[in-house]
């Protein structure tokens, strides 16, 4: 919907998503960390088990093939920061000023619910979730700074230097 209604805003959002993913990847490479369920499997923590696939057995369907195959190929030591919590926080922050005020409590609940779920299922520690939220905030701030800087002094010859005949809030034709 954002892409269809406001391409400039979609581009800003996409830049933030890519920046957040790259920041998370750089951290995974520099600081590989085992999630709580893995620490439980190796005996470093007691009583922590991975429960993310348990919902399928409750439904009587067993583990979905896509889930099992996907889990077999993921980076198991990519726990810090939690990009699941980071992306939900990024979505909430980006949309905050774009939604009606009565929707904002739901936006605030989105990253909170994700964080609680990640901790309860043994996928992440609280620190991982909190760091994910901080990464999202840092990416939002850094991208906003970069956009203000580029708007203040566009490079000669770039499209940003050309006068615009359409504002980002005008309808797309």
**Residue 171 has what pLDDT?**
43
Confidence of residue 94 (pLDDT cuts 50, 70, 90): very high
What confidence tens digit (pLDDT) does each residue in 24-58 have?
Answer: 999 988 888 888 887 787 777 777 766 666 666 66
Q: Where are the alpha helices (DSSP H) in the chain?
A: 2-5, 7-30, 36-41, 54-58, 65-72, 83-95, 104-120, 126-152
The residue extents of the domains of the chain are 2-33+76-153
- Higher pLDDT residue, 95 or 162? 95
- Higher pLDDT residue, 140 or 44? 140
Other Cβ atoms less than 10 A from the Cβ of 123: the count is: 21
What confidence tens digit (pLDDT) does each residue in 114-137 have?
Answer: 999 999 888 888 999 999 999 999
Residue 33 pairs in a beta bridge with 78
């Amino acid at each position: 919907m954002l892409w269809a209604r406001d391409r400039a805003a979609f581009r800003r959002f996409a830049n933030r998503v890519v920046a957040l993913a790259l920041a998370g990847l750089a951290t995974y490479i520099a600081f590989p960390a085992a999630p709580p369920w893995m620490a439980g499997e190796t005996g470093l923590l007691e009583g922590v088990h991975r429960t993310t696939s348990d919902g399928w057995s409750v439904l009587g369907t067993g583990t979905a093939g896509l889930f099992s195959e996907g889990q077999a190929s993921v980076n198991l030591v990519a726990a810090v920061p939690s990009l699941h919590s980071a992306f939900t926080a990024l979505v909430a922050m980006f949309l905050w000023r774009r939604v009606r005020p009565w929707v904002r409590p739901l936006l605030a609940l989105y990253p909170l619910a994700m964080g609680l779920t990640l901790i309860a299922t043994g996928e992440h520690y609280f620190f991982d979730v909190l760091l994910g939220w901080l990464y999202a905030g840092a990416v939002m701030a850094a991208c906003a700074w970069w956009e203000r800087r580029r708007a203040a002094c566009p490079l000669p010859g770039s499209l940003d230097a050309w006068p615009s005949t359409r504002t980002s809030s005008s309808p797309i034709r």
